[in-house]
Amino acid sequence: MTNITVQEGDYLISTDKSKLDTEVIHQFLATESYWAQGIPLSIVEKCIAGSLCFGLYHDNRQIGFARVITDGASFAYLADVFVVTSHRGKGLSKFIMRAVIAHPDLQGLRRWLLVTADAHSLYRQFGFTDITDPQKFLQLHRPQPYL
């Protein structure tokens, strides 16, 4: 995958995994997210290893994250998008989404999916819509596997 760096003002997004602060990512996912409560650090590390990751930084400190699981040809799943509380309300989720959608290795994909409980309006701004034929979709879901 192609590494990119994008800057807006004092904020930087990079897909260079060596810059990621796995402790920040793990802490947010395990204790603050509603979707990954209790996730072990070892699982976060495996998720990072198998994904295209977008780190959001301010003053060289990680303050946000997103990852995309993809085959790079036809499908992508967007996951674990967050901005830490102290930096919310500054348009940074949109900054992350612009970087994700524009990434050169994610162009021309047939389908993107994501699951969100509360950020529908954000993702709709980037072309995401409700599933038109939900009866065609199936899932194997194990809620709270880390607790």
What is the per-residue pLDDT across 118-128, written as a single tens digit (0 to 9) for each? 999 999 999 99
Report phi then psi at 59, rounded to 5: 50, 45
Smallest CA-to-CA distance from 74 within 39, 109, 40 is with 109
Query: Could you tell me the domains of the chain?
Result: 5-136 (3.40.630.30)
Q: Is the pLDDT of residue 131 over 90?
A: yes
pTM of the model: 0.96
What is the per-residue pLDDT across 40-88, written as a single tens digit (0 to 9) for each? 999 999 999 999 999 999 999 999 999 999 999 999 999 999 999 999 9
pLDDT attached to residue 133: 95
